[in-house]
Structure 1
Amino acid sequence: MSKPKKILVGEDSSVIINLTKNVLAFENYEMTAARNGKQVLDLLEKGDYDLILMDISMPVLDGISCTKAIRNLPDETKSKLPIIAISGNIHNLTHDDFRKAGFDAFIQKPLDYDQVLATVKKFLS
Structure 2
Amino acid sequence: MLMGSKTILVAEDSSVIQNITKRVLQFQNYNIKSAKNGQQVMDMLKKEHFDAILLDINMPIMDGMECARQIRDLPDQTKAKTPLIAITGNAKNFTEDDFKAVGINEFLPKPLNFDTLVSTVNRLTNN
TM-score tier (shorter): over 0.9
Which residue of structure 2 aligns with residue 80 of structure 1? 81
Residue identity matched to 1:108: P
Which residue of structure 2 aligns with residue 14 of structure 1? 15
CA distance in structure 2 between the partners assigned to 1:4 and 1:73 by the alignment: 24
TM-score normalised to structure 2 length:
0.94
Which runs of structure 2 are paired with 1:22-61 in the superposition (5 Å)?
22-61=23-62
TM-score normalised to structure 1 length:
0.95
1:100 equivalenced with 2:77 (yes/no): no
Count of residues in Structure 1 that have an aligned counterpart in Structure 2: 125
CA distance in structure 2 between the partners assigned to 1:91 and 1:116 by the alignment: 19
Distance of aligned partners of 1:72 and 1:91 in 2 relative to their CA distance in 1, 3 Å threshold:
same
Q: What is the SS of the residue equivalent to 1:68?
A: helix
What's the CA shift for 1:90? 5.5
Instruction: Say what the alpha-carbon RMSD is for the aligned residues.
Output: 1.3
CA distance in structure 2 between the partners assigned to 1:121 and 1:70 by the alignment: 21
**Structure 2: gaps spanning 5 or more residues:** none
**Structure 1: gaps spanning 5 or more residues:** none
What's the CA shift for 1:59? 0.3
Which residue of structure 2 aligns with residue 67 of structure 1? 68
Residue identity matched to 1:62: D
